[in-house]
Structure formats: structure tokens, C-alpha cells
Amino acid sequence: MRAVGDVICFGDTRRSVVNRLHRAERQAAGRAFAAEFLAPVESVLEMVESGLDDDEIAGSFNVSPQVIARQIENRSRIREACTT
């Protein structure tokens, strides 16, 4: 999913992420896209509100608990990005 995010966000450039490691925002965008695709923040937040912990939520999406923690941590940024 990171590669798909890279194409969607940076499809107009010819260089790959590997060739432009100094551009950390490109890698961050790819990771954020993958995380949102695999564990949508709105669904994650609904599960948090229902009382599930990060491990339980991660298990339901089949992702690591770190993905869930980052989704929760970045929820305001994700919402802002999705509304612009």
C-alpha cells in the first residue's frame, strides 16, 4: 500500500522513494496512506470509543498495534488531509 500511496501522491515524479531518501515527507505520505487504507481512522476511533484496546483493534484489522497507535495519534491530521 505504500507503493500505491506513492503513485497517488507523487505520480508526477519519475524518481522512486529509494532514490530520494532525503525527502522524508514522501515516505511519510506513503506510510500514512497505507495505514489509512488498512485501518481507517474513523473505524479505529469507533472501536476505541466502544472500549477496545490497541491490541484488540489491531487484531481486527490484522495490523500491528503500532499502526493503531499512529492512527489515533494522527487523527486530527488525517481528518484535515481528508477534508482538503
Spans of all domains in the chain: 1-38, 40-84
> What is the rounded CA–CA span in Å between residue 11 and residue 41?
24
- Per residue in 7-33, pLDDT (tens digit) is 566 566 665 555 555 556 667 777 777
> What is the rounded CA–CA span in Å between residue 52 and residue 44?
9
Burial 60-81 (b: 16+ CB within 10 A, else e): ebebeeebbebbeebeeebeee
H/E stretch holding 75:
helix 75-83
Is pLDDT larger for residue 53 or for residue 27? 53
What are the backbone angles phi and psi of residue 35, rounded to the nearest 5°?
Answer: -65, -45
